Chains A and B, each alone.
Chain A
Amino acid sequence: MPWLTATAFLHSVMIQERRRMLKLWNLGLIFLTFGLTLFGTFLTRSGIIGSVHSFTQGSIGVFFLAFLALVLLGSFSLLASRVDRLRAEGVLDSVVSRESMFLLNNLFLVAAAFTVFFGTVFPLLSEAVRGVKVSVGAPFFNLVNIPIFLALLFLMGVGPLIAWRRASAENLKRNFLKPVLAGVVVAAIMRGLGVGNALVLTAMALVVFVAGTISLDLFRAVRTRRRNGDGWAAATFGLLLRQNRRYGGFIVHLGILVIALGVAGSQAWSVQTEVTLQKGQTVDLAGYHVRFDGLEATEESNHAKVTGAFTLSNGRRGETVLLPGRKFYPQEQTPIAAVDYRLGFLEDVYLVLGDFSRDGSQATVKLQINRMVSWLWIGGSCSPSGRRWPSSRRRGDPREGFLATLGHSGGRGAGADAARLWLQDQSA
């Protein structure tokens, strides 16, 4: 939740920077983000909600709740008392503009955060009102959040290229026609290849669309620099290093695209099965061939372990022996599974040992083939590099100077007008 509101802030602060608007909102987002980090800690530490992350039921919960209340009340009352100093100063000409895209971005991110919040708190609400315990888990969050994130993907493509204040039809066509077409074409190809899920297709089309807008922007900027005499390499690197905030942001967006592909792919293409095998028997799934070779019981220092040997082969990559096991701790009520796996760029194979016969002649095994999950990690690792994208120049964005002029002149005078006009032309 705080990550979502912080990301919203990261984007809307750009509006505040360029157009001096949304000051109240941005401060509110910051307070909310901090409040949500406290809330998250409170949830896991107080024991009021059972979740995968909670692990204690001490009395610290009461203190946390009090602290959270104090922080929220304090920060928002401070905000209320300073409202007059935080009035917006800018003007908008059209709904089709970068400002509105940023507003929508904020809306969707905050909506996603709210969804998570409401879903988390709802079991408590249900119990308080009806006395009936319900669970709110993955199926709910998937249904509600996936459309929101698809909308965010779309905004990711539109936002960076659409004009500030007012986007003309010309501007729209120039920047978005080719990426939109590319997205539609790819979706059609995927449909032809057998992907039926509408959400997955939409996600793929949007990923191509966003990648298209990013490449288009990069290509045009490099081309302009080349016109001024730079070679391809100098143009590209010069650009990337000088407009570091913009291109660092693009790298983070590209990382998100890779993650989106990972999520969509794993939804569409992961398969699994559970089967009981006799010794020597095999099972086939998605081109993988798994043979049960036998069981082995061992005594470790603090537990007993039964390991199953399974030979995994899929033609291309040769054979591997996977050893999923079950660990029996004397203190634990149920045995703990030790999963074995083979990770890959496109596919991860997991084997989980289930029930087995005493004499080792038979074992139940769950075979899971997760596709595209590595992409989640790859995409995630793009994020830090994007954020710390280096800059070669200390002066920064030339627009900074123009904004300063606007600010100092109080928005009046020929200089300010000229500056404003130049900025307007810039984004056309």
Chain B
Amino acid sequence: MIRGLAGVLATLLLLAGAAAAVPVDETTVHDVAAQLRCVVCQSLSVADSPSETASQMRGIIRERLAAGESPAEVRAYFVEKYGEWILLAPPKSGFNLLVWVVPFAGLGLGLVLVAVVLRRWSRKIPPGAPAGVDPALRERIRREMSETESP
């Protein structure tokens, strides 16, 4: 299905006079566009935005992919023109590593905390050590409880 569509696209491009060196998969265009921020909308990706600017940007993405550029190169081009801001998720380098690492570090810390709390609860001495209970009493309770309500 996707390959068929790429074929349609390639044909259209040829008809339009542009020689498509590489058949472009619409899914790839969508994937790259989904990582770029639409410059005229608030927080929408270029893939989702219905604006003209986004549509033109998708066209440029398609062109560059067709010319043989890799998705990473297309992304780098946009970063060169608009700055890091254009990427919807900060690149995993330098200061930006912080945003990727902190949530997971926080989670790890939390797990450690949970373990500590659980251990502390286990070590607590109960308020009164349970005395030996008469088995008859236990049986009576069980019988009476099953007579009234089931869990």
> A-side interface residues toward B, CB under 8 Å?
21, 50-52, 54, 88-95, 99-100, 103-104, 107-108, 110-111, 114-115, 118-119, 122, 125-126, 129-130, 132-140, 143-144, 148, 221, 224-225, 228, 242, 271-276, 283-286, 334-335, 337, 339, 352, 354-355, 364, 366, 398, 410-414, 416-418, 420-422, 425-426
Contact = CB atoms under 8 A, between A and B. Distances in A.
A91 B99 contact: no
Contact of A364 (B55, B85, B102): B55
A126 B133 contact: no
A93 B50 CA distance: 57
A284 B4 contact: yes
Question: 9 closest Cβ contacts across the A-B interface?
Answer: A137-B88, A337-B50, A139-B89, A92-B121, A140-B89, A412-B128, A411-B127, A115-B103, A224-B150
Interface residues of B, number: 68
Given A137-B88, A398-B145, A111 B110 contact: yes
Interface of B: 1, 4-5, 8-9, 12, 26-27, 29-30, 34-35, 37, 40, 42-45, 50-53, 55, 58, 83-90, 95-96, 98-100, 102-104, 106-107, 110-111, 113-115, 117-118, 121-122, 124-128, 130-131, 133, 137-138, 141-142, 145, 148-151
A137 B117 contact: no
B150 A140 contact: no
Contacts of A143: 89
Nearest to B121: A92
B107 A107 contact: yes
A91 B58 CA distance: 60
A94 B43 CA distance: 46
Contact of B12 (A133, A275, A418, A421): A275
A345 to B, nearest CB: 22
Which of A103, A148, A410 gathers the greatest number of chain B CB atoms within 10 Å?
A103
Contact of B5 (A104, A110, A285, A339): A285
B117 to A, nearest CB: 7
Contact of B1 (A144, A274, A286): A286
A414 B133 contact: yes
A272 B141 contact: no
A422 B52 contact: no
Given A115-B103, A134-B96, A143-B89, A91 B114 contact: no
A135 B37 contact: yes
A144 B100 CA distance: 8
A141 to B, nearest CB: 9
B5 A273 contact: yes
B150 A122 contact: no
A21 B118 CA distance: 11
Contact of A140 (B51, B86, B99, B121): B99
Most buried by A among B44, B83, B110, B145: B110
A90 B149 CA distance: 26
15 contacts: A90-B124, A92-B124, A95-B115, A111-B106, A122-B90, A126-B90, A132-B83, A134-B96, A135-B88, A136-B89, A138-B34, A140-B99, A339-B50, A354-B50, A417-B131
B103 A114 contact: yes
